Structure 1
Amino acid sequence: MSTRVVAKFGGTSVGSIERIRHSAGLVAEAARRGEAMAVVVSAMAGETDRILGLTQELGAGLGDAETDVALAAGEQVSSALMALALREAGFKSRSFLGWQLPVITDGPAGAARIAGMDVSSLEAAMDAGIIPVLAGFQGITQDGDVRTLGRGGTDLSAAALASALGARCDIYTDVDGVFTTDPRIEPAAGQLEAISHDEMLELAAQGAKVLQTRSVEFAKARGVPMRVLSSFLDAGQSRGTDVVASRDVAERRIVSGVAYARDQARIALVGTSNRSDLPAKAFAALAEAEIGVDMIVQAQARSAGSVTLEFSVAHRDLDKAQAALDTALPGIDMTSETGLAKVSVVGSGLRQRADIARSLFAVLGEESIMVRVLATSEIKISALIDNDAVERAVRALHAAYGLDQV
C-alpha cells in the first residue's frame, strides 16, 4: 500500500500563481514516487488580512459569524487554484471545502475547534487516482454554519486530516526545517534532523514561527508524524526536520533550540497577601478577555507580609489586560513595564539537569543582561529581558549549549 501523505502549504507557498505551480510540482513529484497525496492549503499570503480589513470597515471583525463566511473564501480560492495547477501538471485533482467533507467544528466563530471529520468522500477520490485539495482553516457547525479555526487553523486542518487518513503530515513553509535558533540572528544555527513533539511545542510556544502550537498538540495527542519542509526549494532538495514522539528521537541533546519573542510586557499586582482569591479573579478576567498570559511568578514584596504577583503578556495586549484587571479588581495596586522580550532554552535533556537555571544566569550575567522574570517547565527555561538584549542573549546561549556544533 502507498504511503499516505498530507501536504500542507501556507500563505507564502501559495502567494502567487508561480508559487502555486511550484508547490503543485512538489506534490506531483511525491505522487510520481508512489506516495498517495492529499493537500491542504491556506489563503494566499495577505488575503486573510485583506478580507478581515473589509469586515472591520463594516463594523464586524473576528468573532462575527459573517466574518467567518468571508474569511473562508480565502482558502476556497487557493484550494481551487492548487487543484487547477495539479491538473496542469498532468494529475487528476479536485478541491474540497470544509462543508463538503464535512469538517465538523464546535466553539465560537473565529476560534472554532475540530470536533470530527468525515473523510469518506476524500478517500474515495484518492482511490480513484484524484489528488484532493482541502481548503484549510474552515469547517461547519452541526447546524451547517461556517466556522474558521483561528490562528494556526490550516496547520490544525492538516494534522487532523493526516490523523483521519492514517497519514504523515508534511508542513511546507518558507524555511528548510527546524533550526537551533533563528539563523538571521545566529548564522551558526544548525538544522535539526529530528525533534520531539514536546520540544517543538515549547519552541513554538516560546516564539519560534515554524509551526503553530495547536497543530503540534493535535499531532502529539493523535501520534501523527510530521515533517517540516521548504516549498521554496526544488523537489528532493529540502532536508527537512521530522517532528516525532520523544522515544523516536535518536539523538539525545540537552538543549535543542533557543527561541525568542520580542515586544513583551510585565504586569505586577502588589499587595496580594490578604487576597487569596485575587490570582483566580485576575486570571479569570484575563481569560475572559482572551489574553494569553506567560511567566507567572509570585514572590514576597519588599513590605512585610505583602506578596507580588507578576506575569508577562504580549505588549499589544497590555492596555486590554490592564482594563480587564481594573474592572475585575478595582483598587488593586498594579504596575507594568514594557520594552521587554522573552528568550527561552528548550530541550528534553533539561529533565535531568538541575543546574540549568544557574548556567543560564551565568551566561546572561557575563553579557550584562538583567533577568526580570524567570519561568521553567520540565523541558524549558525562559527569561524576561530587555528587548535590545535579545540578539546578544540568543547568540550567547546558543554558543554556551553547544548548538553551533549541531
Structure 2
Amino acid sequence: MHPTAPREDAQPSPLFAPLGDALLPAESRLSPAALRQRRSMKWATHGADVLPAFVAEMDLAPPLCVQEAIADVAARGDYGYPPHLATGAPHPLALAHAARMAALYGFEPEPDLGVPIADLVQALYLCVAAFTDPGDCVLIQEPIYPPIRAAVLDQGRQVATLPMRADGQGPALSAAELDARLPNRTRLLLLCNPHNPTGHVATRPQLDALASLCLSRDMVVVSDEIHADLVFDGRAHVPLAALGAEIGACTVTLVSGTKAFNIPALSAGLMQFGSGGLKQRFAARIPLKGLGLANAFGVAATLAGWARGDEWLDRLRTYLQAARDHVQRRLAAEVPGIGFAAPQATYMAWLDLSALDLPGPAASVLLERGRIALSAGERFLPGGTAFARFNFAAAPELLDPLVDALVAACRTR
C-alpha cells in the first residue's frame, strides 16, 4: 500500500479528525474501512493505494431521516407506479419543492409546472434540444461542469462562454462586455449557480444583470441550482426565477436533493418551469412521457430530506466549511504556490497549480506522484491542464491524508 493511503485500522489524524468528529452528525460518520468497501465510482475507480478526491460524492452517510425513508420503502416492498400517474395531480416532489422555496426564499413556483426527472444531465441535454436548433449558440460559464458543455456540443450547437474568475469571485466580464461578444443566434443560457467548479455564489446584482441580458435577447435560461443547499459563510442563494415574473417565465430551474443529502445514484430531481408557455414549448419538441420516472427510493429520500433534514444540513455546512478552511490553511502554509480560493459553496475547490510548473497535466501528475485522484482541469476548461478540482467532503480521518498526498506530490521533483 502506498504510504499516503489510509490503513484499514487508521487512527484519527491529530489535525482535522477531532474537529471533524465533533462537527459531524454521528449517523453520517464512515470509517476508512467502510469507505473502501463501497462500489461507487469514487471508491471503485482506482486501486487501494489511491486516495479519491474527484467525483462529487461525499464520504458521509445521508441523514438518518433519509436512510429511514429508504428503508421504509424497502420494508413495504412499495415498488409500484406512483399515484400521480393516474390522478394527474402534481408530483410530490413538485409540491414539496414549492413549499421549500416559499419557506426559504418567499417564492412559490407552481407545482403544476414541476416535472420530475431521473437525471439532471438528461434534463440539460433535452433543454438544449427543446430550446435551440442545430447551429444556434448556447451561453455557458467557463470553467464548467463537463456535461453542460457536452450537452451543447454533442447536439451540433455552438458554445459561447462567460469566463469565470479562478479566484471564485464570479464572472470575469460585465454583462455589457458579454453582450458585445455574443453571437446573434445565442438562444439559451445554461447557468450553474452555485457554480461548479469554482464554488461561486451569484449575487443579486450579478443575477439581475444576467437576467436583463437574457430578456433583451429573448433567451431561455436553464438554471442548475442543485448545490443551493451547500452555501457557506452566511451567504444566501438567490433562485434566478425568484427575481421577477418576467425572468421567471423564461427560466427552467433544475433542483435535486442528491448533492445535499449525498444520494446521487438514487436518481430523482425536478425540472421546474417558470411558465406554462415555457413548459408547452418544451413539450412540443420533447414529449413529457419520454422523460421516464424518478426513482421511488430517490423520491422518498428527497422528500424526507427536504421535510426533516434541515438540522442535519446546518451541521453538514459547518463541517464542510471547517474542512474547506483547514485545507486552505494547510496549503497556504505548505505549498503556497497552489492557488486555492475558498469556494463560497459546494464541496469542491478549484485548484490553480500553474505556478508549480508541473511536467504535465496537473491531475495526472498528482495521481502519479501522490496517488491522489482529482478531477482533471482540462475536463472543465479547454486547455486547463494546470487546474484540478479537489473534493474536500472527506471523512474526518481522510482529510489530512488527502492534503498530505497533495503536498507530497507538489513537492516531488
TM-score, structure 1 length as denominator? 0.28
Q: Which has the higher helix share?
A: 2
TM-score, structure 2 length as denominator? 0.27
Q: Over alpha carbons, which structure has the higher Rg?
A: 1
Q: Which has the higher strand share?
A: 1
